[in-house]
Structure 1
Amino acid sequence: MSSAPLLFACSRCFTRHPFEELSAGQQLCKECRGTFPVVKCTYCRSEFQQTSKGSTSAICKKCEQNVKAYGKPTACEYCNIIAAFIGNKCQRCTNSEIKYGPPVNCEQCKQKCAFDRHDDDKKVDGKLLCWLCTLSFKRALAKTKQGDAERRATLKRTQGHKKKDGKLRSHSKRPNRPEIKLPIPDGQPPVKMARNNSVPGVVGSDLDPNSSDHVVAMTQLREQIASLKKQIVQKDAQLLGKDKQITELKAKHFTTESEWRAKMKTNQKEHDDKVDSLNKRVAGLLKEVAGLSKSAKKTNKNITITNSDANNSSGTDSPSVP
């Protein structure tokens, strides 16, 4: 028996890969996933991957089939997503309503489009959110985590480079020990200089490393490193503030967009109700006109019959002339 893992073909380039390396749904390899962009469907708002670089279609295959079968969708009664192909509800809300019961208010957008699964583990950050708000929150959270990881990795690399440069500088800035040549008396062995730059028999040496110029340079470098670390901390704080501000602006934009959608839906409903009432009124007036025209015709017919009877009676009663 062979222990080699099973390989599956990519649906785009047909190269074979392990199953866990292929994307769910379209079964694309890593290269094809990076080549073709991921976009949002215009109707159901779910993300899908385009199958060609030149494709400008922003409709997923499922919605495209539904458009061909049922025509363009309308806004869902619950979530206001334009994905209601059959009736007034989209397929996602219909399935959720069957499974979890009627919808409740979302704690983010305040619309009645969230479904309570009666499971605290299914809640997002302890809140009961609808599908769109859940996607928005997870996207913002993933982006924040990715930004934090990139900043930590950059800071770690910077600190590693600084430590390496500091070690190199410390090695390169060791003072060279000058060679001191002492007069050697005749018939005596040469005198060796000790490690502390002192010479036997000589009291006090002129070689003091603490008085060299490299101490000033080291002090300046330490101050510069401390200043740069402060700047890095300030920049990280500014970036975190910007990320929070971006997240708040996105949430505000999403809330405003949801409110406008609800307002448009309300205006559309009022317009349809007004048109229906006017059509009913027109139909009633047309019936009234038809009834009046029929009664007028009957009246004219009776008048004509009465005149003809009167003429006949006057003809028979008149005396004949001799």
Structure 2
Amino acid sequence: ECRIAHPVVKCTYCRTEYQQESKTNTMCPERVDGKLLCWLCTLSYKRVLQKTKEQRKHLSGSSRAGHQEKEQYSRLSGGGHYNSFSPDLALDSPGTDHFVIIAQLKEEVATLKKMLHQKDQMILEKEKKITELKADFQYQESQMRAKMNQMEKTHKEVTEQLQAKNRELLKQAAALSKSKKSEKSGAITSP
């Protein structure tokens, strides 16, 4: 029934996922003050509450104890964010502290892996864009070179045509000047 009702749940503080492993080992989500806690965080939470009650008994008249209790309670029941659970909440529990810290580090590693994956995706997208821009640049460059080569070829042809026409006109001018000279020389000799 536990697996069906709660296949996988996350602890409010350490953010570890857990569920019932076997019929004898019940790791069902236990609600403490309306929060889902794994068994490690539940033990730490109860230990802190017990320690707070003991401190209240010892310092019953002091306003300082009431203030500390309120601070601890507000830290415990504050937000559901995993950073709100700090190592000082699990007093006198080095074994559970290590588990909680490991769970927090695992969550941080998972978050960093997710960020790394997102950065990798961004880099891949930017590399793809750069490749597209390079391909577009090379295409435009090849089109420009082809256009320049075509213009150079056309210019060369026009220049050759103009030079040929110029040579033809020079020949005609030379022929005309020869014919004029021969007419002048013929006119001088005939009188």
Q: Which has the higher helix share?
A: 2
Q: Bigger relative contact order, structure 1 or 2, given CA contacts below 8 A and separation 6+?
A: 2
TM-score (norm 1): 0.29
